[in-house]
Amino acid sequence: MSPIRGVAIDLFNTLVHIDPTRYPTVTWEGRPRLSSAPILLEIFRSWDLNVEPARYIAASIEVQDEMEKERRIEHREIPSLERFRRTLERVGIDPETDGGRLLRILQRTHIDSLVDAARLPVRSLLVLAMLAARHPVVLVSNFDDGAACRRLLERRGIASYLSGIVISEEIGLRKPDRTLFERAAALAGCACEEMLFVGDSPVDDIEGARAVGMKPVWIRGEAPPPPNWRAPEPTLDHLADLLDLGLGEEGSLDAIAT
């Protein structure tokens, strides 16, 4: 087994988390669901556009789910702006209203609210700092707005610890496509077999990493893994649990990846 010389890490639900007290929810099919729709409905009112709230919420979630299905099948990234273009069309509003200004305002407001709600736990920042002190660390994120992702990384003090950043919107592909993992290894100056990958998605992160020979560490999330899925070792509940595995000791990542 090759020694670990670099680390790639996922962003959402691995390094940062959405604070539910700072991001709105809607009730959909009897369950609460994070959604920027309540904020965006205020924009429609300010534009004197009569959009029925339930209709917009339904259209927004349906479009989001349809796009997620497309992404899973094709591993192709669809920019955030396209989501709002489709949603406006679904509720009968021309996306080119006022030269597309409404479309851009909706998308930017949504992204800003998401970035504002992203929280970096202190112990996760400590893990990141300890990793970066010994190894190149590359962030690999399925994020549909590259500029917003980079803004988040700067705002939360993450960017200074990174040797490279790989964002799906900037490449046009999404994990688990091997292109993103290979790009991360190249930015770290390592072979894929010399990389540890830390992420929460069983398919996008763990299986994607396995497919190129990276050594995965799974941060167990809320979504259940696929049936009969083989979880890697180690499997952790939080990124900070790496501290309990001796992170910071000489050769600790090689021991973790064994």
Reported as a pLDDT band with limits 50, 70 and 90, residue 246 is confident
pLDDT given at position 73? 96
Q: What percent of the chain has pLDDT over 70?
A: 97
**Residue partners of 30: CB distance under 8 A and separation at least 6:** none
pLDDT given at position 243? 86
Q: pLDDT per residue over 110-154, tens digit each?
A: 999 999 999 999 999 999 999 999 999 999 999 999 999 999 999
pLDDT given at position 251? 59
pLDDT given at position 250? 64
Give the pair of three-digit tokens for residue 178: 């091997």
Q: pLDDT per residue over 67-84, tens digit each?
A: 999 999 999 999 999 999
Query: What number of H helices and E strands is found in the chain?
Result: 10, 10
pLDDT given at position 223? 75
Reported as a pLDDT band with limits 50, 70 and 90, residue 89 is very high
Whether residue 258 is predicted with pLDDT greater than 80 in this model: the reply is no
Identify which of 40, 33, 41, 8 has the alpha carbon closest to the alpha carbon of residue 180. Answer: 8
Give the pair of three-digit tokens for residue 213: 């020979």
Indicate the average pLDDT of the chain.
94
Q: What CATH architecture applies to the domain 6-16+120-257?
A: 3-Layer(aba) Sandwich (3.40)
pLDDT given at position 2? 84
